Structure 1
Amino acid sequence: MKEVIRVGIIGAGGIARDVHIPNYLKQGSKVKVTAIADIVRGNAENLSDQFNIPHVFTDYQEMLETVELDVISICTPNKFHAAATIAALEAGCHVLCEKPPAMTVAEAEKMAETAKRTGKILTYGLSYRHTAEVDTLKRFIDADELGEIYAARVHAIRRRGIPGWGVFTNKELQGGGPLIDIGVHMLDTALYLMDYPEPDTVFGVTYQKLGNKKGVGLAGQWDWENFSIEDMARGMITFKNGASIILESAFAANIEKHDEMSVSVMGDKGGADVFPLKMFQEKHETLIDVTPSYLPLKNNYEQQIERFVNCCLTGEQPISTAEQGVKLQKIINGLYESADRGEAIKLS
């Protein structure tokens, strides 16, 4: 078992600065953040100075060839996930790639195939899986407290939360809008709690009603004149085992709450709302609600990085796998294709 893992970062944006690097550093002597690459050298140099990272590159291929690394975090726009992940795996590194897996199903499949062939870990930054709420509910589900989970609802909706920074409103670089950015978190959480069933059919619709005009920006002022993504996506997913998910995701919608990230699951022995966690059952001829009185307070991003590091040190498999990433990508791309074609899409 390795005693120290050497980490390289590809992409020097906010997710690297605020999430990946600080949480690697929290792992203490087990981890050394060794190198960072970004096409804008100044961005990489800023993080190098801030976090005392010794090696800076503008070309991640050069970084992979020059510096001996064990682990890579992919923190680029979505368009570059696949190429950077595959290069890192081929260089003999384990990879934590930010969500979503990729832009296309073919890319996600190639990423998974490369991980399998190289024998390296590939996992994704689906951080809501690592919350105390999900950890707790998963234990109840595994103990059959909810029975067969046959239905779920997922919401990732903001009133006016279009990001006013980065490339989040650029379809060419991101592949889509709220569905692929925030909706993917809640969708993955539901799928994880449902044991990632095989998807069968999807039906999706997308809207661009608010993002392409000037308005109040609760997440900064976005570039409404170059807004090329959907501002809302809705859909239904059915699975081969008969289960189904109803999904809603929006960066901007005329709703009361400023922000809602929620998952509800329903089984034949009980159900649950996840954020915050509350379970619903019928026992002894009585309808009861069960609410935890205490949950651990560890940040989900810290938990994600800690678990990934431990997997890299021990060889254990992460709870988010490359194969699950392929299923997730199939559903996302299927919903977008369905919305474009105006009809349900069969995925299997």
Structure 2
Amino acid sequence: MSANNPLPLRVAIIGAGQVADKVHASFYSARKEVELVAVCDSNQQQAQAFAERYAVEHVFTDAQTLLRECRPDVVSVCSPNRFHHEHVMQALAAGCHVMCEKPPAMTPQEADEMRKASRQAGRVLAYDFHHRFALDCQLLRQRVAAGELGEVYVTNARALRRCGVPGWGVFTNKALQGGGPLIDIGIHMLDAALFVLGFPQVRRVTAHAYQKLGTRKNSGQFGYWDPAAYTVEDAVFATLEFAHGGILRLETSFALNIIPQSVMNVEFCGDKAGATLFPAHIYEDVDGDLVTLLQREKADDKRHQRSMEAFLEAVQGKPAPIADAEQGYLIQQLVAAIYQAAETGKCVEL
């Protein structure tokens, strides 16, 4: 094929669950510059069904075998959290660019190894923190950087569900998942908040975690689970103190007795103006009257697509603002600090 028509990038997916299906495979299958050539899952039947849905030629139950026999250019890692480190390291060692689902890993040490390996291999490693790719996030980042809110000294990030324990996958299994709502949904609003703020340095972390409802109930809006096998937290409440003096308060839950069914949003309080993330809204008061400086009617719903597009552009050598390995390592450090502070009841200095 000529230089004007390069061969498509060969893509493999490790992990054939819901996010691999609804996000990664659906994106790749619609792109002409890539070819989805292989899928791997420990469940042979699930991998085969996935392959049939997307006309994928090669099916594997072992990631190393896939990498050796298919030699893909790009790998999406959608396996359970416990295996992110193993699969990302294997893919990087095989010379692949990698898009990994969140969280990066189970520990900061693993995320650090992944960060260093991507740098050494000279390959792109991105994490699917897709909420930061909403246009709302991009707009607020620009306005905060321009000083429109002034000094943002209080940020409230919420990822809350009233009765939203996932009834599928391994979301209630701490050994495979690493945690509960903090790892699953809280980490998204944490990343989005830090992105808008420009990733200020965190000085210390305090937190509380609770397991009150998941072991007492067995069903909710997302199906059924085994309360006897529920080993993750129901809710986490954390405060991050920044070196510049501001704070970020994070609240996240699978099950919490609140009025709304769910909340996924961030509020920023500055000394000039305040803002809400979804949809993007900036406001201030003038002599007691509320003045709107920016208000989107509807939040951007193409976040996953924009995240995947940025990754593919980075792979092709184009400048793209991906959620990179450095930021993934930072987020993993903060998650670990939150869990440590909740477990010990002590402030964690960073």
Q: Same fold (TM over 0.5)?
A: yes
What corresponds to 1:20 in structure 2? Answer: 24
Please tell me whether the aligned partners of residues 264 and 274 of structure 1 are also in contact (alpha carbons under 8 angstroms): yes
Please tell me whether the aligned partners of residues 269 and 282 of structure 1 are also in contact (alpha carbons under 8 angstroms): no
| Residue 68 (structure 1) aligned with residue 61 (structure 2) | no
What corresponds to 1:292 in structure 2? Answer: 295
1:307 to 305, 310, 331: 310
Moved more, 160-169 or 287-296: 287-296
Q: How does 1:47-86 map to 2 (within 5 A)?
A: 47-86=50-89
Say which SS state the counterpart of residue 153 (structure 1) adopts.
Answer: strand
| Residue 226 (structure 1) aligned with residue 229 (structure 2) | yes
Distance in 2 between the 1:107 and 1:243 partners? Answer: 29
Distance 1:34 1:272, change over 3 A: same
Please tell me whether the aligned partners of residues 211 and 224 of structure 1 are also in contact (alpha carbons under 8 angstroms): yes
| Residue 6 (structure 1) aligned with residue 17 (structure 2) | no
Distance in 2 between the 1:62 and 1:223 partners? Answer: 34
Distance in 2 between the 1:273 and 1:11 partners? Answer: 35
Distance in 2 between the 1:318 and 1:297 partners? Answer: 17
Q: Cα offset for 1:3?
A: 5.7
Deviations 1:266-286 (A, max 9, x none): 223322111122111356996
Please tell me whether the aligned partners of residues 205 and 338 of structure 2 are also in contact (alpha carbons under 8 angstroms): yes
Distance in 1 between the 2:300 and 2:315 partners? Answer: 24
Distance in 2 between the 1:136 and 1:58 partners? Answer: 42
Deviations 1:74-111 (A, max 9, x none): 10111001111111111111111000111101001001
Distance in 1 between the 2:226 and 2:299 partners? Answer: 39
What corresponds to 2:258 in structure 1? Answer: 255
Please tell me whether the aligned partners of residues 128 and 189 of structure 1 are also in contact (alpha carbons under 8 angstroms): yes
Cα RMSD (Å) = 1.8
Moved more, 187-196 or 265-274: 265-274
Q: Cα offset for 1:315?
A: 4.5
Runs of 4+ in 1 over 4 A off after TM superposition: 282-287, 293-298
What corresponds to 2:185 in structure 1? Answer: 182
Say which SS state the counterpart of residue 162 (structure 1) adopts.
Answer: coil
Q: Cα offset for 1:19?
A: 1.0
Deviations 1:92-133 (A, max 9, x none): 111110001111010010010111111111111111011121
What letter matches 1:147 in structure 2? G
| Residue 213 (structure 1) aligned with residue 211 (structure 2) | no
Distance 1:3 1:307, change over 3 A: farther
Distance in 2 between the 1:189 and 1:336 partners? Answer: 19
- Scaled by the length of structure 1, the TM-score of the pair is 0.94
What letter matches 1:11 in structure 2? G
Q: Cα offset for 1:25?
A: 1.9
Please tell me whether the aligned partners of residues 3 and 313 of structure 1 are also in contact (alpha carbons under 8 angstroms): no
Q: Cα offset for 1:234?
A: 0.5
Say which SS state the counterpart of residue 164 (structure 1) adopts.
Answer: coil
What corresponds to 2:324 in structure 1? Answer: 321
Say which SS state the counterpart of residue 269 (structure 2) adopts.
Answer: strand
What corresponds to 1:330 in structure 2? Answer: 333
What letter matches 1:77 in structure 2? P
Deviations 1:157-205 (A, max 9, x none): 1000000111000000011100111000000000101111222211111
Please tell me whether the aligned partners of residues 10 and 73 of structure 1 are also in contact (alpha carbons under 8 angstroms): yes
1:88 to 67, 75, 91: 91
Distance 1:225 1:285, change over 3 A: closer
Distance in 1 between the 2:51 and 2:218 partners? Answer: 37
Deviations 1:62-83 (A, max 9, x none): 1111112111111011100111
Distance in 2 between the 1:238 and 1:280 partners? Answer: 24
Q: Cα offset for 1:242?
A: 2.2
1:268 to 250, 268, 271: 271
Distance in 1 between the 2:7 and 2:57 partners? Answer: 20
Please tell me whether the aligned partners of residues 150 and 242 of structure 1 are also in contact (alpha carbons under 8 angstroms): yes
Please tell me whether the aligned partners of residues 280 and 299 of structure 2 are also in contact (alpha carbons under 8 angstroms): no
Q: Cα offset for 1:288?
A: 1.2
Distance in 2 between the 1:283 and 1:86 partners? Answer: 54
| Residue 118 (structure 1) aligned with residue 121 (structure 2) | yes
Please tell me whether the aligned partners of residues 157 and 265 of structure 2 are also in contact (alpha carbons under 8 angstroms): yes
Moved more, 134-143 or 243-252: 134-143
Say which SS state the counterpart of residue 126 (structure 2) adopts.
Answer: strand
1:108 to 89, 104, 111: 111
1:199 to 187, 197, 202: 202
Q: Which runs of 5+ in 2 are unaligned?
A: none
